[in-house]
Amino acid sequence: MEIDYLKTGRQVLRDEIEAMRRLDEILDESFERACRMIDACRGRVVFVGIGHSGHVAAKSASSFSSLGILSFFLHAAEAVHGELGALAAGDVAILISNSGETAEILALLPRIKELGVGSIAIVGKSESTLARNCDVILPTGFTAEAGPLKFAGSSSGLLSLALCDMLAMAVAAARGLTAEAYSKHHPGGAVGASLHANLK
């Protein structure tokens, strides 16, 4: 059987573009509330996830840190085995789960509430258990994965990652982050070299 790789690739791309368009349409004041919560945070922004959502959470913690927003990644499975002790009052937790029913994440909610940690849910299902138990809900608008393999994660992760990028950039811009300040967080690599060259 002959396979049209280009056709399949374009189908995935178009499906993901459509998913991003839907996200743009459903953005509302909840996004502003999440940004204000993060901007006012005097502790750390803690990204929590597992599986694909865990990889999104880890990347997002890295992005926030590079922008000077104190953050770290907490793997949900490790958290229920003791790492939850890293959370402290004054932190803000961003919990990422497409289903909103991830058992390892739901198990963290009682302690998060007990500590008074602010909570933001990034979820595909706004009526999920996770969404109902967080201070701010950021629905991704997820309807289906991209391309012909609807069982394989694609659009769900992209939407969560996009929301995290949006939060990072919006808060960093509100705080007046400059290229000079960013260069101090990112002195290495091609990005660091370019920044230092432009700042001379």
Decide if pLDDT at 191 tops 90.
Answer: no
What is the total count of domains within the chain?
1
Q: Report pLDDT for 63.
A: 97
Give the model's confidence band at 154: pLDDT under 50 very low, under 70 low, under 90 confident, else very high.
Answer: very high
The single residue listed with the structure tokens 């949900």 is 76
Structural domain boundaries enclosing 141: 5-199
Give the model's confidence band at 2: pLDDT under 50 very low, under 70 low, under 90 confident, else very high.
Answer: confident
DSSP 8-state class, residue 144 = -
- Is there a contact between 185 and 68 (Cβ–Cβ < 8 Å)? yes
Give the model's confidence band at 189: pLDDT under 50 very low, under 70 low, under 90 confident, else very high.
Answer: low
Q: Report pLDDT for 3.
A: 82
At 23-59, the pLDDT tens digits run 999 999 999 999 999 999 999 999 999 999 999 999 9
Q: Report pLDDT for 190.
A: 62
pLDDT over 70 percentage in the chain: 90
Decide if pLDDT at 188 tops 90.
Answer: no
At 61-95, the pLDDT tens digits run 999 999 999 999 999 999 999 999 999 999 999 99
Query: What mean pLDDT do residues 99-110 have?
Result: 98
At 118-153, the pLDDT tens digits run 999 999 999 999 999 999 999 999 999 999 999 889
Query: What mean pLDDT do residues 97-102 have?
Result: 98
Amino acid at site 116: G
Residue 38 buriedness (CB in 10 A; 0-12 / 13-18 / 19+): buried
For position 74, which CATH number holds? 3.40.50.10490
Give the span between the Cα atoms of 198 and 200, in whole angstroms. Answer: 6
Q: Which of 46, 111, 102 lies closest to 77 in space, CA to CA? A: 102
